[in-house]
Amino acid sequence: MARCHAASSRVTARTGCEAAAMRWLILLLIFALVFKGLRSWLRVLGLGDLPGDFTIRLFGRELYLPLASIVVLSFVIMLLGSLV
């Protein structure tokens, strides 16, 4: 995993930090898209209405940001992965 502190070359460390941040951003986007597709099914299980799941209405559109549910699902997937 890339660390974001001083290394032998500032250019290399900066590029590594940016790449790590981009990977996390892409992963968060993928989780959000998957969660959006499964939203109605997951609401039956109680996910999607947690504190930290935001719904923003802007210009007649609804933007759903399931931040807390993504954290819970990531934790569950991590636990399942460590058991396998």
Residues 56/65, Cβ–Cβ less than 8 Å? yes
- Could you read off the pLDDT of 26-83 as tens digits, one per residue? 887 887 787 777 777 877 877 778 888 888 898 998 888 878 888 888 888 889 888 8
- Could you read off the pLDDT of 70-84 as tens digits, one per residue? 888 888 888 988 887
Burial 24-55 (b: 16+ CB within 10 A, else e): eeeeeeebbeebeeeeeebeeeebbeeeebee
